[in-house]
Amino acid sequence: MATLLAQRKHWLISMTVVCLVLGGMLGVQVHTQQARGLTEVGRQTGALVARLTEAEAQLDKQREEIDRLRGLLAEYEHEAASEKGLVRLMTEELRNARIALGLLPVKGSGVVLELADSTMMAGNEFGGQDVYVIHDFDLVQIANELWAAGAEAISINGQRLIGGSAITCSARLIKVNDVTISGPFTFNAIGDKKNLMSALNIRDGVLDRLRVLQFQVKLTPQDGIIVPPIAVPPKYEHAQPVQKEDKQ
């Protein structure tokens, strides 16, 4: 009997130890799983917080840019709506139109070109006397090259060239804007000096051909060139502005 009780006691102690060990292991595993879960949640939360912070920063920048653009737009609207702003805009537009029409004298940097007839003698293999004289088509080609190079204002012997200017020759007399001029001829052109110089000195250009025949050519870049206004302002009798009803 005593032996049986001893065996039962030993069995109970063993089972108790086994249960305690299993319980401890189970507790450690549960704690580990909880720790892993907390770590994963923490990482996900950290990533979400970082994205949220970045999104909020971008949103703040966009708000600042929107506020800046709104302020700029309000300034433009206020200036356009005010009498002072309208007067300024109209004055600038009128000034540009008057410059384009040649109604105002202008000043700026550019080039000065002086031309005179050839120093070669007539009667050689190149032809007669007309070959060694500056003609109207020479002046037209030079003016076209200056315009193409970006000249903003041009004059020949004090005659302002505009969109409707004509350079013609009649009975050996050259006329610009119906005003007779004679050689030597001087071009005053306002614009980018480098571009104007390059355009006129281009190989096989008009000045290059004139130099071959020993025409007197002097081209210099200058500052403070003055181009006078046109002597007779243009008049428009047939060309009229297009009205809204004309477009329909």
Return the CATH number at 199: 3.30.70.1880
Regarding whether 73 and 102 lie in a shared domain, the answer is no
Q: b/e for 37-47, b at 16 or more Cβ within 10 A?
A: eeeeeeeeeee
Cα–Cα distance, 114 to 4 (Å, whole number) = 139
Domain boundary, last residue among 48, 81, 114? 81
Asked whether residue 64 falls in the same domain as residue 180, the answer is: no
Classify residue 140: in a domain, yes or no.
yes
State the pLDDT at residue 5.
47
pTM strictly above 0.75: no
Length of the chain (residues): 248
Give yes or no: residues 64 and 101 share one domain.
no
In a domain, 156, yes or no: yes
Residue 53 lies in domain: 1-81
In a domain, 232, yes or no: no
Same domain, 55 and 104: no
Do 122 and 35 sit in the same domain of this protein? no
The pLDDT score that the predictor gives to residue 137 is 92
Residues 148, 220, single domain; the answer is: yes
- Residue segments in the chain with a per-residue pLDDT below the cut of 50: 2, 4-5, 28, 30, 35, 38-39, 41, 43
The amino acid sitting at 98 is: R
Give the Cα separation of 85 and 79 in Å (integer): 5
**Contact yes or no for 175/161 (Cβ under 8 A):** no
Same domain (yes/no): 8, 57:
yes
Q: Do 65 and 103 fall into the same domain? A: no
Q: With beta carbons less than 8 A apart as the criterion, state whether 151 and 108 touch.
A: no
Residues 75 and 103 in one domain: no
Q: Give the residues across from 219 on adjacent strands.
A: 113
- The whole-chain average pLDDT of the chain stands at 78
Q: Are 185 and 117 in contact (CB under 8 A)?
A: no
The first and second tokens of residue 160, run together, are: 């302002």
Residue 148 lies in a domain: yes
Q: What is the pLDDT, as a whole number, of residue 4?
A: 46
User: Is 179 a domain residue?
Assistant: yes
Question: Is residue 116 one of the residues assigned to a domain?
Answer: yes
Residue 104 domain-assigned? yes
- What pLDDT, on the 0 to 100 scale, is given for residue 247? 64
Tell the residue number behind the tokens 């025949």, with chain if given.
Answer: 213
SS3 content of the chain, % helix, strand, coil (to 5): 55, 20, 25
Domain count, the chain: 2
Residue 234 located in a structural domain? no
